[in-house]
Amino acid sequence: MFSDNWEDLVKYLQMARKKSRETYIETELVFAYAKTNRLADLEEFISGPNHANITQVGTPGR
């Protein structure tokens, strides 16, 4: 059930990223890829140009 929510979040963030390449959107997309175990997508995303704050992902209190 919860994994479906994460998949929905991935779709939403991908759509949002097309409209605005904000740091917080891209950072949350990295986290959502990790939560859904979409490692190939994650690797492709971080290999290309992005504005994600990767060091912040998974840090408590972010």
**Using one digit for the tens of pLDDT, what is the confidence trace for 18-45?**
999 999 999 999 999 999 999 999 999 9
Q: What is the mean pLDDT of residues 48-58?
A: 92
> Given this model, what pLDDT does residue 17 score?
96
Burial code of 21-56, b = ≥16 C-beta within 10 A, e = fewer? eeeebbbbbbbbbebbebeebbeebeeeebebeeee
What is the percentage of the chain residues whose pLDDT exceeds 70? 92
pTM: 0.86
